[in-house]
Amino acid sequence: MTYFIIIISAIFVNNIVLSQFLGICPFLGVSKKISTGLGMTGAVTFVMVIATIVTYFIQKLILVPFGITFLQTISFILVIAALVQLVEIVLKKVSPPLYQALGVFLPLITTNCAILGVAIMTVNRDFNLLEAVVFSASSAIGFGLALVTFAGIREQLELVEIPKGMQGAPIALLVAGILAMAFMGFAGMV
Amino acid sequence: MGKTESSLSNMALTLITITLLTGAALGYVYKLTEKPVAIAKEKKQQEAIRLVVPEFDNNPAQEMYLIPTSDGDSLKVFPAKKEGKKVGCAIESISHNGFGGDVKIMVGILPDGTIYNYQVLEHKETPGLGTKMTTWFKPSEEDNVSKASGNAFFNWLFGISNNSGGGNTSIVGVDPTKTKLEVSADGGDIDAITAATISSRAFLEAVRKAWYAYTEIVDTHSSATTKEKNSQEGGMQ
Amino acid sequence: MNQWSNFTKGFFKENPVFVMLLGMCPTLGVTSSAINGLGMGLATTFVLVMSNIVVALVKDFIPEKVRIPSFIVIIASFVTIVEMVMQAWLPALFEALGLFIPLIVVNCIVLGRAEAFASKNSVGSSIIDGLGMGLGFSLALTILGTTRELLGSGKAFGLPIFSESYGMLVFVLAPGAFIALGYLIALINKIRRAG
């Protein structure tokens, strides 16, 4: 598979949020403002790429050679949880401004299923290391694209009058549905 | 609460104990399920083979061999025999050009080269459109239900008729030397699934690949060769 | 706490999906049919009950600071057990649910109940809590799955109800998941306000 197809597929056609249903919690939770959406995207991109690389090596160097692939879920989630902590500590020391921007989002990321989902998908699709990096980075960009677009729409929604019963989650889900429909237009591109 | 103190040694000890215990428990369950998982996989394959070839009494999975195709895949061929005589073979074929990804099918081909039946093993096509491939290419009496409607009463109520457009959608019983296994829009003899031409193309591509692989077997195994040549010539006239 | 209300709170008052908006990924991802929704719900219920039991049992031995990692390990091992058992005896469901089975690990409901309830309560009430929440989650997934299947392909649990050609295909596809859930939550909000 060429890298171009992987990129287009992960960002548009098989967008992890709008067609794979991964990372819905942050998608609905931190999408009230574009700025927080961007911060979350940054944090997710950072952790997703590192997590995919680390889990790739765990799979290839530990789980497969020792025939213990049944420990995949448990080892991946532990690695991701530890990694998030590590990133938080390192970021605090190395780059305080970046920590200020991303810090609040980091603890939320452990339970972001997009990270674990992408790590498992990478293994399932038998990507090589470079493909895995490209795939995870474009998945994160796809996540960001959906999140920021959605946040932009929600900012506008604040200004209109919404029927009482539809306020909050229902209207957000309907908007997400229409956005997913728009992304369906990319289907069949690859 | 009488919680254990959060000292470093306590924390490390707790985590190590938990990890060891769960690791052991998982290892045990893995050993327990290892066999049933293998059996379930084999059963699924057996089931697919059984559905696409006539009755057999050998174990096709044991006699399985691989045939490389021109585009770099290798197809699994499962010969089915009854009382030592070949009754057909099931070929696992794949197309990479589906709408949502790969389309994997099992095609059964009789010794005379006609297609006996097929089974879709794996696909990622659009639900309600491309997914119809599981029944669309079978003879209509079997799948009128899914083509028109699931319910006779509603068919009557809404005036839905059970005709499949009078088109030619079935590949079952077809001799690929006489019928062009391509969608009619591309000049073939098979009608594509309504609104799912790409899925139909991918499906038929997989069938063609299986058939080409099959013709290669008969070329190398002399028993059916002459017969096959004849029918090919017959098809060209 | 009254055990009966402890059990039933997950069904309506604190329904994890419709009211607390937890576990949205599997909720949207697997509910293209009623049976998948039910299967996912029951798998999650199993993990929820088992992890609640174990967490309630070991809560006094676990130091405060490694609480969350320990819970995650416990949950992940039960998820792996579900994964292996399902692969062995329910391969069709295993394939239909796919990626979302390992992802039960990061389902906020499971970790949420372990942290908010089981780490503070007895084994007995933790079992009831897990069972109630799990069945409430299953109920929500089954309702959403049935709605989508019925509107999208005219079937419920695979049984044809009306003609498939009158189905609105979009409800089986991704956008329909969001839209159907949005309207269901609006409906539940309305009932809750009236009640």
**Chain C residues inside the 8 Å CB shell of A70:** 80, 84
Give whole-number Cα distances, B111 to B106, B217, B218, in Å: 16, 11, 9
Please state the three-class secondary structure of chain B as a single string: CCCCCCCHHHHHHHHHHHHHHHHHHHHHHHHHHHHHHHHHHHHHHHHHHHHHCCCCCCCCCCCCEEEECCCCCEEEEEEEEECCEEEEEEEEEEECCCCCCCEEEEEEECCCCCEEEEEEEECCCCCCCHHHHHHHCCCHHHHHHHHCCCCHHHHHHHCCCCCCCCCCCCCCCCCCCCCCCCEHHHCCCECCCCCCHHHHHHHHHHHHHHHHHHHHHHHHCHHHHHHHHHHHHHHHC
Report residue B30 as tokens: 């893995």
- Which of B33, B127, B155 lies closest to C85 in CB terms? B33
Highest mean pLDDT among A100-114, B113-127, C133-147, C165-179: C133-147
pTM attached to this predicted model: 0.81
pLDDT confidence of residue B164: 43
Arithmetic mean of pLDDT, C135-139:
94
Question: Which position has the token pair 């009557």?
Answer: B156
- Determine the pLDDT at residue B235: 38
Would an 8 Å CB–CB cutoff place C99 in contact with chain B?
no
CA angle B208, B213, B217 (to 5 degrees): 145
DSSP codes joined into one string, A48-95: HHHHHHHHHHIIIIIITTTT-GGGHHHHHHHHHHHHHHHHHHHHHHH-
Within-domain flag for B158: yes
Q: CA–CA separation, B171 vs B116, rounded Å?
A: 9
Burial of B57 (0-12, 13-18, 19+ CB in 10 A): exposed
Q: What is the CA radius of gyration of chain A?
A: 17
What are phi and psi for residue C23, nearest 5 degrees? Answer: 60, 40
Using a 10 angstrom Cβ sphere, with 0-12 exposed, 13-18 middle and 19 or more buried, the burial of residue A96 is exposed
- pLDDT(B42) > 90: no
Confidence category of residue B225, pLDDT binned at 50, 70, 90: very low
Domain containing residue B94: 45-224
How many Å lie between the alpha carbon of B86 and the closest alpha carbon of chain A? 37
CA distance B99 to chain A (A): 6
- Yes or no, beta carbons of A70 and B26 under 8 Å apart: yes
Quick one: tokens of C75? 């949950």
Who among C77, C103, C174 is closest to A184 (CB)? Answer: C174
Q: Judge whether residue B227 has pLDDT over 60.
A: no
Residue B130 vs residues A91, B187, C157: alpha-carbon distances, Å: 48, 20, 21
DSSP class of residue C33 equals S
What separation in angstroms does the CA of B29 have from each of A97, A146, B90, C82?
A: 47, 40, 34, 10
In the prediction, which pLDDT does B216 show? 76
- Asked if residue C185 has pLDDT above 90, the reply is yes
| Cα of A81 to nearest chain C Cα, Å | 8
Contact residues, chain B, for C161 at CB < 8 Å = 150-151
- In the prediction, which pLDDT does B177 show? 78
Question: Which one-letter amino acid corresponds to residue B217?
Answer: I
Q: Which chain B residues have a beta carbon less than 8 Å from that of C114?
A: none
Judged by CB atoms closer than 8 Å, whether chains meet at B26 and A188 is answered as no
Assign C5 a pLDDT band (cuts: 50, 70, 90): confident
Residue A83 · residue A44 · CB < 8 Å: no
Looking at residue B189, what is its pLDDT? 82
* CA trace torsion C163, C165, C166, C169 (10° rounding): 120
Does the pLDDT at position A174 exceed 90? yes
- Dihedral class, residue B190 (left if φ above 0, else alpha if ψ from -120 to 50, else beta): beta
Measured between beta carbons, the chain B residues lying within 8 angstroms of A188 are: 99, 198
Residue A58 confidence (pLDDT): 93
